[in-house]
Chains A and B, each alone.
Chain A
Amino acid sequence: MSEEAEVGCARPTGGPVGEEPAEQQQEQTQPQEVKKMITVGQKAPDFVAPGYQKGNFVNVKLSDYLRKWVVLCFYPGDFTFV
């Protein structure tokens, strides 16, 4: 039932199962929050995030790393390169 295809991301087809997709749905036009851009020379936005470190599940708060240099790295997904 599945077909081989380029790996992409999951997304709705625009209709219920077994039916043709409804008329091209209008792109949702919810007002987007204005995104605040990151600016060098400004304080980093703080956050708390769960994670894994050396055999333990941990909770990490960025501000706990004040007085240290931090490299904060984002990447698309585990099992990819960084």
Chain B
Amino acid sequence: MSIDSMFVHKMWNDDELSKMVEGGIPFPMLSDAGGKVGSLYGVYDETAGVENRGRFLIDPGGVIQGFEVLTPPVGRNVNETIRQIQAFQLVRETQGGEATPSGWRPGKKTLKPGIDLVGKVWEVWKTEEAFD
């Protein structure tokens, strides 16, 4: 979503993005003229008249589980977005029975929050696991 019109979105997709992604962009490219939605989400920069780089993860119940907002010059890490979705999906599937510690990615150890874990995280989870 950006302040550009849907016509500009079409040109960008058809003339440039479709050369980077086969078949073009599959998801909706939304237009937020005037930054009304961006203001609602706190990412619209009124001075510059554009949106900052905001990314919101919304779960199937409509609840915002996480967000990241960057100023324009720095791009995002798509792998990290996917990792967070995978982690939130696992937490949701286990109904909170499992949690994903720092550095978790699919296949890595999860933690089972509970009284038995208090003071024992150091035994079951090592610092190196925080890193890739």
- Residues on A facing B (Cβ under 8 Å): 9-10, 35-47, 49-54, 57-58, 60, 62-63, 65-82
Contact = CB atoms under 8 A, between A and B. Distances in A.
Nearest to B12: A78
B29 interface: yes
A12 B82 CA distance: 42
A34 to B, nearest CB: 12
Contact of A51 (B6, B51, B61, B72): B6
Contacts of B88: 69
Interface residues of B, number: 59
A58 B26 CA distance: 13
Given A9-B48, A67-B60, A82-B53, A35 B39 contact: yes
Given A9-B47, A50-B6, A38 B62 contact: no
B58 to A, nearest CB: 4
Q: What's the dominant secondary structure at chain A's contact region?
A: loop
B57 A69 contact: yes
Interface string B6-36: 1111111100100000011111111110001
Interface of B: 1-4, 6-13, 16, 23-32, 36-43, 47-67, 72, 75-76, 81, 85, 88-89
A64 B76 CA distance: 26
26 contacts: A9-B49, A9-B50, A35-B42, A37-B42, A38-B56, A40-B66, A41-B65, A42-B64, A46-B62, A51-B30, A52-B6, A52-B9, A52-B28, A53-B25, A58-B28, A60-B28, A60-B30, A62-B62, A66-B61, A71-B57, A71-B81, A74-B54, A76-B51, A76-B52, A77-B3, A78-B2
A37 B48 CA distance: 20
A72 B58 contact: yes
B85 A71 contact: yes
Contacts of A36: 40
